[in-house]
Structures are given as structure tokens and as C-alpha cells.
């Protein structure tokens, strides 16, 4: 029942991913059948392949890819070593407890030592760790630890604000609930970061 994708035979890693897509599609076809749905229905027959492609290529791609390289630029002696804050970075991830999405935004702040990073790199790090089954608390800490290590920063602060569909569409079904998590590493003041964000919004 699974769809056959065009595969680059000269790329061993793509062959591995294709194998994963084929096996996941087969497993998901079994789930659909157990639910009593008709796999010959034109609307459903390609669903196993679509789900497999989504999991391997998108929502869980961080499990099968290398972490991003962080491009940094040296600060000269005349450049201030003040806070750098990047806020409202959108992301989506997959709750590992019920395989429902959680979506939200992240704020990344760091106190540079002798280098600053390209502004897009924080978002790439966030996407990498979000592209796998996750919990929000771990995601927050993984982003903080990775940036703290690779930036050689004096301090890093991460705040993630997210809505969890496992709370929206099942269980307690609290549609307007959201969760905020933070991680702080090194010499950085949480109050100063939050005050700077509030000041910038005025």
C-alpha cells in the first residue's frame, strides 16, 4: 500500500530514509485497517505514505540529520558586549506523549563573549531540536545548552511559549491554555532580558 518515492541511489543516507518511510507507511496502514477504515478509498489509500513522508522528512527530521553549524563573527574591541535578543521565533514540534503537535514561539538571548552569531542560526538550532518527538521542557534546555557551548557565550537565556494540542483536542480539552518554559545558563540576568523585551515593545 505504500508509495514508492524517487530515490537517489548514489546517496546511502537517502536509501536509509527511504527504508524508514516504507516501513512506517506499512505500520500506519495496519493502524488504519485496525480503525476499520477502507485503504482502497481514494481519499485514504495514499495516507500511509503521506504520514511516513511527513514524519521522516519533516516533523521528526531532526532525528536523521546533523545539528546546524553556527556561523559566528568576531567582535572588535570597540563593539559593546551587551545582550543580543531574538524574539518571536516560530516553531512547531511533536509531543512525545501523544504524538500531537505543539506550536509556539521562542525568545533567544545571549551575552556575547568575543563573538556573535548570524541571526538565522538561533532559529535553525531551535528547528533542529524541535524536529523530533519532544517535551517542551527538554527542548528549551537543549537549545540553551547547544548555543551556550557553540557560541562560547558568557550567558544564554531561552524562553519558549507554546500551545499543546494534547491539551486542546484530547484529555482536559483546554483550548486557550499555553505553557512557558525558560532555561538560563552562565552569566545572564533573566530580569534584564525580560525588561529589555518589554521596553522594546513600548
pLDDT per position as a tens digit, 103-119: 999 999 999 998 999 99
Check if the beta carbon of residue 52 is closer than 8 Å to that of residue 24: yes
Of 17, 20, 27, give the one whose Cα is nearest residue 47.
27
Whether this model's pTM surpasses 0.95: no
Catalytic residue among 96, 137, 175, 187: 96
Whether 95 is catalytic is yes
Give how many domains the chain has, as a whole number. Answer: 2
Domain assignment present for residue 5? The answer is no
What mean pLDDT is predicted for residues 145-173? Answer: 95
Whether 97 is catalytic is yes
What is the residue range of 114's domain?
72-201
Whether 136 is catalytic is yes
Whether 198 is catalytic is no
pLDDT per position as a tens digit, 35-47: 999 999 999 999 9
Catalytic residue among 60, 95, 134, 142: 95
CATH classification of the domain holding 101: 3.30.1130.10
pLDDT cut 90: percent of the chain above it: 81
CATH classification of the domain holding 54: 1.10.286.10
pLDDT cut 70: percent of the chain above it: 94
Q: Are residues 35 and 98 in the same domain?
A: no
Whether 96 is catalytic is yes
Amino acid at each position: 500500500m505504500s508509495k514508492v518515492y524517487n530515490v537517489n541511489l548514489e546517496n546511502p543516507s537517502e536509501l536509509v530514509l527511504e527504508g524508514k518511510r516504507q516501513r512506517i507507511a506499512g505500520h500506519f496502514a495496519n493502524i488504519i485497517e485496525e480503525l476499520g477504515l477502507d485503504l482502497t478509498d481514494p481519499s485514504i489509500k495514499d495516507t500511509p505514505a503521506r504520514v511516513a513522508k511527513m514524519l521522516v522528512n519533516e516533523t521528526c527530521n531532526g532525528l536523521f540529520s546533523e545539528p546546524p553549524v553556527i556561523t559566528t563573527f568576531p567582535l572588535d574591541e570597540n563593539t559593546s558586549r551587551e545582550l543580543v535578543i531574538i524574539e518571536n521565533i516560530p516553531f512547531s514540534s511533536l509531543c512525545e506523549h501523544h504524538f500531537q503537535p505543539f506550536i509556539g514561539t521562542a525568545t533567544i538571548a545571549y551575552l556575547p563573549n568575543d563573538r556573535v552569531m548570524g541571526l538565522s542560526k538561533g532559529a535553525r538550532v531551535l528547528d533542529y531540536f524541535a524536529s523530533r518527538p519532544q517535551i517542551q521542557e527538554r527542548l528549551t534546555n537543549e537549545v540553551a545548552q547547544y548555543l551556550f557551548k557553540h557560541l562560547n557565550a558568557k550567558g544564554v537565556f531561552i524562553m519558549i511559549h507554546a500551545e499543546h494540542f494534547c491539551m486542546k483536542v484530547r484529555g482536559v480539552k483546554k483550548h486557550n491554555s499555553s505553557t512557558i518554559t525558560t532555561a538560563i545558563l552562565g552569566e545572564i540576568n533573566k530580569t534584564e532580558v525580560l525588561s529589555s523585551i518589554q521596553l522594546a515593545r513600548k
